[in-house]
Chain A
Amino acid sequence: MTDAVHAHGHDDHGHHAHPTGIMRWLTTTNHKDIGTMYLWFALIMLFSAGTMALLIRAELFQPGLQLVHPDFFNQLTTMHGLIMIFGAIMPAFTGFANWQVPLMLGAPDMAFPRMNNWSFWLLPVAGTMLMSSFFLPGGAVAGGWTMYPPLFIQGGISYDLTILAVHIMGLSSIMGSINIITTILNMRAPGLTMMKMPLFCWTWLITAYLLIATMPVLAGAVTMLLTDRNFGTHFFNAAGGGDPVMFQHIFWFFGHPEVYILILPAFGIISQIIPTFARKPLFGYASMVYATASIAVLSFIVWAHHMFAVGMPAAAQLFFMFSTMLIAVPTGVKVFNWVATMWKGSLTFETPMLFAIAFVCLFTIGGFSGLVLAIAPVDIQLQDTYYVVAHFHYVLVSGALFSIFAGIYFWLPKWTGYMYDETMGKWHFWLSAIGMNILFFPMHFLGLAGMPRRIPDYALQFTEFNQIATVGAFIFGFSQLIFLAVVLKAIKGGVKAPARVWEGAEGLEWTVPSPAPYHTFEVAPVVK
């Protein structure tokens, strides 16, 4: 696809002095530095919220209350959700975008480097606010990551702090999105038309539009919570003429597109990796772009399927059921395209490819349980049970998180200049894939049998599957230490990586040396 002209072996950034130490990172406007910081931040948050998940699973190992109080349990589930979504998955994808979008487009940096710096440095502030709320009177937020009033109105000071943290993270996301959209629309190398762009850039472009459209909606919803809590307004209080259900409509109008914000970049990463290790171009590139766009459009008209048990007219239930089922069509197209890309390829199974294959397979299980949940009468039985917990963890762990792992293994040699340890990578993959299934698959059965989610203690018939899930959780959780070790090892050294790290790799990022120099594409390459 590309035949890049890339000059500049030498660094010519001597015209301004580089701060060193902490100031380098605080003041940097370099997309690679910022991408690295996003990824490290995401990893720290992954381990923090993962520790909370292990505490949750430890409490649920057997019936009865053993380790934590019910209120602290609710704090753990709430914070696990908020931190994983806003602290781990979203920043990790933004980290990928920072590193890869300019490299893939042949651009020297992001369009607004200083705003890029600010959008990152807001995140540690918000993260610290969230984490510190554990130490405030009354503890952290315990009303669920969905923040439904009136429950969310009842809490203490940490609830206000969380609202402010969500505002700050939303601000960061919006600025990051403006940057990504502007970079993609304006800074592509000559000859790199939109329909020649790597799919990762397409999925991020669409994700960025989703973020810009929905983050202000979330900000509005939580602002109304804030004024209801502190300034005597009654947006969500029926006694004052408000409606608690209105919050849910506004929240899910943000929340459903948010689901795709968490998965579309994953589709992009997987669409880069599978063709590389199949040594064959991506099947149905154009239909991939159209499918992504249709998923994004549909995501705005399905929100109330999160609310079937709230009660709505039959006609509304039917509308949201049909529109939700429709999402299976473009999602199916994507899965078929990935399988067709592998078909008659010349396949090898390095760690990125293993994670990508597991992604296709396990994400589809999450897709199927999503289809089951789309059927309104079935959803009413399964809403707020462990079936839903199983469903969204198949989508977010074996979906979003696995794609992040795949992407890290895929591009780590380009970033560090050294190959990662393949044996350790494979251990990490197999333990994660097996542990993840032991952890989440039994939750389908728990939900079907009638175990509600967000409970610290359960009836005796749920014991066996909970014990299996907890065993899986510890396997999955501790195998992430291998991942940390692999990354640290690849940073320290090892086998030198060539510019084109993978035999089947295509695209501008593979034309620059490994590790990618601090400044790349100061003269734009030409794509034929």
Chain B
Amino acid sequence: MKSMWQRAGLAGAALTTSQMALAEYAFNLQTPASKVAQDVFHLHNMIMLVCLGIFIVVFGAMFYSLYAHRKSKGHKAAHFHENTMVEVVWTVIPFVILMGMAYPAAKVVINMKDTTNPDMTVKITGYQWKWGYDYLNDGVSFYSNLSTPREQINGQVQKGEHYLLEVDEPMVVPVGKRVRLLITANDVIHSWWVPAFGVKQDGIPGFIRDSWFKADKIGTYRGQCAELCGKDHGFMPIVVEVVSEEDYKAWVAKKKGAATNAAADNGKIFDNAELIARGEKVYAANCVACHQANGMGLPGTILPINGSKVATGPIDAHIAVVLNGRPGTAMVAFGGRLSDAEIAAVVTYQRNAWDNKTGDAVQPAQIAAARGGAEAAAPAAQ
């Protein structure tokens, strides 16, 4: 029976693939790139075929009746209104069909839930509105932001091929390795979903859920956040690059080099122009979604930075807001997300952009000092 189902599934898959070749419309699940996604694909095809069969039988009978038993054709109504035998039969048969579906489905569930024996573990954190990746074995950490330019979204320029499904820093994993995912979130619930791997797992703030995948083929796989997480829910895609073992090692080495450089940056002193140029990039990746490109925020929900008391007043207070956020509002703490150099740059940018021409320059050392102060103050607050 099982092989029959599998064959039926393959026939269904073949049918859909040929349809996909005929038109650019996609009628079925994405091409699977992992064993789990493959199993789900077949499971879905099998169920669809069973449903289609039942639909044809039941509604074949109904439409025959609509045609043959019409009053306009002079059909006289019969008077039967129950038949225990028939009623028992059409209760039992669906039950048996359902058991036939439940067995293969249960096997896939158990396989999906088995997160033991991973080759590597990556912690994924959902933020409003980006993803953070921490490679627990290799010590690599980074954020992954939408890289589609705002002009494409607003229709000022032609949309690119991977419109809304492209990021600045993709997740990179080696091919054929069992990757365990520890998924959580920082603010609200998000959901990490890559259809080709058959993985969708909500990230719950304050809790860690796990999942896993093993990518079969080298390539780029794209997904999106699948749980409504606020204004820019539609703008936090996921991109996973599956590469060879060697390429993965090279990527890890490169990321570590970049991290060393970033650490070195924290000890440097920059001039004003350098800080503003870098700050503009940090702003675009972290602040623009809420505070907008013109720094005006959103009336009623998000405060402006342009002309605000914070961005034109004392520097320490400005740094404190960026480091610690404003609890109870959408303004989150960036202290754990950005390096000293990045915070110094973005604060400098905010104090010099638009109408905020304060001329101030903030150096990474000031951020380090402010962090020290915050840490010292924390126990006292408790």
To the question of whether A and B form a pair in one complex, the answer is yes
Interfacial residues, chain A to chain B (CB-CB below 8 A) = 63-66, 69-71, 74, 137-139, 142-144, 148, 150-151, 154, 156, 237-239, 243-245, 278-287, 309-311, 313-314, 317-318, 321-322, 325-326, 328-329, 332-333, 335-336, 339-349, 357, 360-361, 364-365, 368, 371-372, 375-378, 380-381, 383-385, 445, 448-450, 452, 454-461, 464-465
Residue A139 contacts which of B79, B211, B300 (CB distance < 8 angstroms)?
B300
| B365 CB-CB contact with A under 8 Å | no
Contacts of A332 in B (CB 8 A): 90-91, 94
- Chain B: minimal CB distance from A11 (Å): 38
Supposing A74-B228, A322-B102, A372-B48 touch, asked if A339 and B201 sit within 8 A by C-beta, the answer is no
| Leading 8 A-B pairs by shortest Cβ distance | A238-B206, A455-B234, A311-B209, A314-B113, A346-B77, A344-B78, A281-B81, A368-B51
Q: Find out whether the CB atom of A344 lies under 8 angstroms from the CB atom of B165.
A: no
| B361 CB-CB contact with A under 8 Å | no
- Chain B: minimal CB distance from A322 (Å): 6
Enumerate 22 A-B pairs (CB-CB under 8 Å) in ascending A order.
A70-B233, A142-B231, A151-B230, A280-B79, A314-B109, A332-B94, A333-B91, A345-B69, A346-B69, A357-B66, A364-B58, A377-B40, A377-B43, A380-B200, A445-B25, A448-B26, A450-B223, A452-B193, A452-B233, A452-B234, A460-B161, A464-B24
Docked CA distance A310–B191 (Å): 8
Most buried by A among B43, B71, B112: B71
Chain A minimum-CB-distance residue to B74: A346
Chain B minimum-CB-distance residue to A342: B65
| B202 CB-CB contact with A under 8 Å | yes
Chain B minimum-CB-distance residue to A66: B155
Q: How many residues of B contact A (CB 8 A)?
A: 97
| B205 CB-CB contact with A under 8 Å | yes
Interface string of B184-224 (1 = CB under 8 A from A): 00011101010100111110111101110000000000011
Docked CA distance A137–B98 (Å): 51
Contacts of B191 in A (CB 8 A): 309, 384
Contacts of A137 in B (CB 8 A): 300
Instruction: Report the stretch among B6-14, B27-35, B245-253, B261-269 that lies at the interface.
Output: B27-35
- Chain B: minimal CB distance from A292 (Å): 14
Interface string of B85-114 (1 = CB under 8 A from A): 011001100110010011001101110110
Q: Find out whether the CB atom of A144 lies under 8 angstroms from the CB atom of B228.
A: yes
Q: Find out whether the CB atom of A309 lies under 8 angstroms from the CB atom of B226.
A: yes
| B296 CB-CB contact with A under 8 Å | no
Docked CA distance A339–B57 (Å): 11
Supposing A457-B235, A461-B26 touch, asked if A328 and B94 sit within 8 A by C-beta, the answer is yes
Contacts of A138 in B (CB 8 A): 300-301
Residue A278 contacts which of B44, B77, B209 (CB distance < 8 angstroms)?
B77
Most buried by A among B72, B201, B233, B301: B233
Contacts of A336 in B (CB 8 A): 58, 90
Contacts of A287 in B (CB 8 A): 82, 87
Contacts of B164 in A (CB 8 A): 63, 457-459
Majority DSSP secondary structure for residues of B touching A: mixed
- Chain A: minimal CB distance from B296 (Å): 14
Q: Find out whether the CB atom of B106 lies under 8 angstroms from the CB atom of A450.
A: no
Residue A383 contacts which of B55, B79, B223, B226 (CB distance < 8 angstroms)?
B226
Docked CA distance A150–B327 (Å): 13
Residue B58 contacts which of A335, A449, A454 (CB distance < 8 angstroms)?
A335
Docked CA distance A324–B102 (Å): 11
Contacts of B280 in A (CB 8 A): none
Most buried by A among B39, B80, B201: B80
Docked CA distance A360–B55 (Å): 11
Docked CA distance A311–B113 (Å): 9
Supposing A309-B226, A455-B234 touch, asked if A280 and B77 sit within 8 A by C-beta, the answer is yes
Docked CA distance A38–B27 (Å): 41
Residue B43 contacts which of A238, A344, A378, A455 (CB distance < 8 angstroms)?
A378
Residue A343 contacts which of B61, B206, B225 (CB distance < 8 angstroms)?
B61
Docked CA distance A281–B80 (Å): 8
Q: Find out whether the CB atom of B232 lies under 8 angstroms from the CB atom of A385.
A: no
Chain B minimum-CB-distance residue to A64: B155
Q: Find out whether the CB atom of A454 lies under 8 angstroms from the CB atom of B26.
A: no
Contacts of B207 in A (CB 8 A): 238, 243-245
Docked CA distance A455–B225 (Å): 10
Contacts of B195 in A (CB 8 A): 381, 450
Q: Find out whether the CB atom of B204 lies under 8 angstroms from the CB atom of A310.
A: yes
Most buried by B among A139, A346, A349, A454: A346
Q: Find out whether the CB atom of B61 lies under 8 angstroms from the CB atom of A459.
A: no
Supposing A283-B81, A328-B98, A381-B198 touch, asked if A455 and B161 sit within 8 A by C-beta, the answer is no
- Chain A: minimal CB distance from B116 (Å): 12
Contacts of A342 in B (CB 8 A): 62, 65-66, 69
| B2 CB-CB contact with A under 8 Å | no
Contacts of A460 in B (CB 8 A): 159, 161, 163
Contacts of A310 in B (CB 8 A): 202, 204, 209
Q: Find out whether the CB atom of A321 lies under 8 angstroms from the CB atom of B106.
A: yes
Residue B200 contacts which of A69, A283, A383 (CB distance < 8 angstroms)?
A383
| B273 CB-CB contact with A under 8 Å | no
| B298 CB-CB contact with A under 8 Å | yes
Q: Find out whether the CB atom of A148 lies under 8 angstroms from the CB atom of B228.
A: yes
Contacts of B27 in A (CB 8 A): 445, 448
Contacts of A139 in B (CB 8 A): 300
Docked CA distance A445–B72 (Å): 39
Docked CA distance A336–B159 (Å): 50
Contacts of B110 in A (CB 8 A): 314, 318
Interface string of B295-312 (1 = CB under 8 A from A): 000101100000000000
Contacts of A449 in B (CB 8 A): 26, 29-30
Contacts of B211 in A (CB 8 A): 311
Supposing A64-B159, A328-B94 touch, asked if A375 and B226 sit within 8 A by C-beta, the answer is no
Contacts of A284 in B (CB 8 A): 81-82, 87
Q: Find out whether the CB atom of B30 lies under 8 angstroms from the CB atom of A450.
A: yes
- Chain A: minimal CB distance from B88 (Å): 10
| B229 CB-CB contact with A under 8 Å | yes
